[in-house]
């Protein structure tokens, strides 16, 4: 079976943009088993010789801050249960937030391989934005721009090395 890579992170960091880029023009399958896989979109993807499935998590994220945090935690737990590796996406323009720290702890404790993607690093002079992310304890942060498609090769190299 192909390994499963889940994309996790708080709302608006660019998870779905990254997912769409990785899925390319492959048709994404929406699993709608209520309560189990809601808000989770699956696609297949490949990098070099590696084929894998990717899961986009999140869906429509509305509600109070507490509700949203609960949903992110829930998605992180589901991703840990289902995935062979996790891409944790954060926002380089916003820096590290308390929600990032909380999810990072859940992921760290799971002992699943986690690659840390600092998104929205749209141009090289924003690279300094990534250094504060070392404090999440998830290893080297990878600067990416999901929108421009930069940095994704190095990120996937890390993911594939960990699987």
Least distance in Å: CB of 19 to Mg ion?
7
Find the largest Cα–Cα distance for the chain. Answer: 44
Place of tokens 């899925």: 23
Residues 20-79 that bind Mg ion (CB under 5 A): 58
Least distance in Å: CB of 66 to Mg ion?
20
Least distance in Å: CB of 18 to ligand GDP?
7
Strand partners, 117: 89, 142
Helix (H, G, I), strand (E, B) or coil at 60: coil
CA distance 106 to 103: 5
Q: Which does 92 bind (CB under 5 to 8 A by kind): Mg ion, ligand GDP, none?
A: none
Confirm or deny that 9 is annotated as ligand binding: yes
Helix (H, G, I), strand (E, B) or coil at 116: strand
If one asks whether residue 120 binds ligand GDP (CB under 6 A), the answer comes out as yes
If one asks whether residue 146 binds ligand GDP (CB under 6 A), the answer comes out as yes
CA distance 91 to 9: 9
- Total binding residues toward Mg ion, as defined by CB under 5 A: 3
Confirm or deny that 16 is annotated as ligand binding: yes
Q: What radius of gyration do the chain's Cα atoms show?
A: 15
Residues 7-66 that bind ligand GDP (CB under 6 A): 9, 11-17, 58
If one asks whether residue 151 binds ligand GDP (CB under 6 A), the answer comes out as no
């Amino acid at each position: 079976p192909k390994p499963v890579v889940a994309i996790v992170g708080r709302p608006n960091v660019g998870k779905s943009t990254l997912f769409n880029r990785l899925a390319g023009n492959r048709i994404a399958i929406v699993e709608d088993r209520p309560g189990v896989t809601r808000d989770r979109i699956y696609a297949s993807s490949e990098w070099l010789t590696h084929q894998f499935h990717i899961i986009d998590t999140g869906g429509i994220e509305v509600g109070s801050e507490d509700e949203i945090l609960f949903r992110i935690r829930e998605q992180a737990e589901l991703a840990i249960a289902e995935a062979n590796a996790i891409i944790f996406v954060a926002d380089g323009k916003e820096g590290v937030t308390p929600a990032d720290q909380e999810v990072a702890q859940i992921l760290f404790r799971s002992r699943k391989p986690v690659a840390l993607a600092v998104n929205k690093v749209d141009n090289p002079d924003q690279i300094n934005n990534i250094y504060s992310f070392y404090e999440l304890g998830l290893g080297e942060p990878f600067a990416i721009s999901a929108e421009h498609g930069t940095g994704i090769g190095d990120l996937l190299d890390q993911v594939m090395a960990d699987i």
